[in-house]
Structure 1
């Protein structure tokens, strides 16, 4: 009889330890945490405690994730609410970038729009209505989804006020139109903040909401 045979016998005869209760009480097995041997009952209790601790840790992780998601939802609500109640479309670009940075703790945010009528002089000189080269526009048109990754010398990195190591590029377009009318750039000195492995679903929603709001600036 080998170990497999013993294990199979005990599985097929669970009443074994009822008939040999003294043996069950006297069995000593190695402790999973090292040290001297413990009784089989102690080993079982210890295993239950370990599983309980693992379950508690998993539960705390779920609670923490739920709270983080709740905070994100609240921030999204107040950010979007501010955009909806703004009556002056020309104030939207600055409001969008400032509140986006503060609501989601983004170190640096830049925005460029093209094809906008009646942009104020200060926006043309130093802000969101600055001219955008054709090659940058073509690149933005090629983005069908937000891009996340390291700053590998993108020209749009020059739009940001600080040196950044990771970036998110969010094209702005109306619906499924192939031509974009702007680009939202998020930057961080942390190379992991907008790592390539980051899911872009949330950034896509930011782009859709931004596009819907800023489309009020486009000619009708």
Structure 2
């Protein structure tokens, strides 16, 4: 018959040994952390340490996501290469933005000068629609003036004309808002603003002209092209120019 009287003593000895080992491991871990902090503090206080001990840099190993390790110098080289690529990309983007801004300025300047040289509403309207299409890649542009117009108002060319009452009925909320609106319009609003081109318009930007003069609208077949968050500074700027030019042109008609 087997004697089990010594089993509790053996278990206690094993448990004590494990506890002692755990305590030792914990102490070693604390010592490593303390040593790491001391080393880090020393390196911060002595930034020229590696400059005076260059041979150490090649022996320092850093882990990678792949599980492999690389030397600190290799890591620094790769990091600098990545930063250089990122900086070149940023510089390329800045240069492209500068070129785009130069092009925008030239197109805007040409449009404004052409509008200033216009003798009739028709000439101004033709210049506006042509520039928006050819220079600014606008798919659909519609300029609508509200009557009754000063003078005869007959020489309008591509510029549309309607009564203020009909405009209130179709786009009253846009007119009352008084600010440039972007996004998807209601079917009735789209039909009023773009006429026979309405079926091609999935999104639009609309600028009410001050003094109940009229409304400028641009449209796109892309429903996301004219988003509600789209910057409208340029379009509003053109609207302000039209507000100043059109009354005199209408008076000459």
TM-score relative to the length of structure 1:
0.83
In the other structure, the counterpart of 1:29 is 62
Q: Flag the 1:156–1:24 CA change in 2: closer, same or farther, 3 A.
A: closer
1:55 aligns with 2:87: yes
The match for 2:154 among 113, 120, 143 is 120
Alignment of 1:1-220 (within 5 A): 1-2=32-33, 3-18=36-51, 20-31=53-64, 34=66, 36-115=68-147, 116=149, 117-120=151-154, 127-132=159-164, 133=166, 134-136=168-170, 138-160=172-194, 161=197, 162-173=199-210, 179-219=211-251
Does the 8 Å CA contact 1:93/1:128 hold for their aligned counterparts? Answer: no
By how many angstroms is 1:127 displaced? 4.8
- In structure 2, relative to structure 1, the CA distance for the partners of 1:122 and 1:44 (3 Å cut) is closer
User: Which is further off, 156-165 or 206-215?
Assistant: 156-165
* Cα distance, 1:137–1:164 mapped onto 2, change above 3 Å: closer
TM superposition shift of 1:149: 1.0
Structure 1 CA distance, aligned partners of 2:139 and 2:176? 26
Please report how far the alpha carbon of residue 103 of structure 1 lies from its aligned counterpart in structure 2 after TM superposition: 2.1
Residue 168 of structure 1: how far off its partner (Å): 0.4
- Tell me if the contact between 1:90 and 1:217 (Cα under 8 Å) persists in the aligned partners: no
Change (3 A) 1:47 1:119: same
The answer to whether the Cα contact below 8 Å between 2:64 and 2:70 also exists between their aligned partners in 1 is: yes
Deviates more, 1:147-156 or 1:160-169: 147-156
Offset, 1:51? 0.9
Tell me the matched-pair count.
212
Q: Spell out, residue by residue over 1:188-214, the C-alpha distance to the aligned partner (whole angstroms, 9 max, x if none).
A: 011222111111212211111122222
Tell whether the 8 Å contact from 1:10 to 1:16 is kept in structure 2 after alignment.
Answer: yes
C-alpha contact (below 8 Å) 1:31/1:43 kept by paired residues: no
In structure 2, what is the Cα distance between the partners aligned to 1:18 and 1:127?
74
Kept after mapping to 1: 8 A contact 2:121/2:156? no
Higher helix share goes to which structure? Answer: 2
**In structure 1, how many angstroms separate the alpha carbons of the residues matched to 2:37 and 2:217?**
62
- Equivalents in 1 of 2:248, 2:232: separation in Å? 25
Distance 2:205 2:171 in 1: 16
With 184-193 and 127-136 compared, the bigger mean Cα shift is at 127-136
Distance 1:153 1:4, change over 3 A: farther
Task: Give me the whole-angstrom Cα distance separating, in 2, the residues matched to 1:47 and 1:64.
Answer: 26
For the pair shown, the structure with the greater C-alpha radius of gyration is: 2
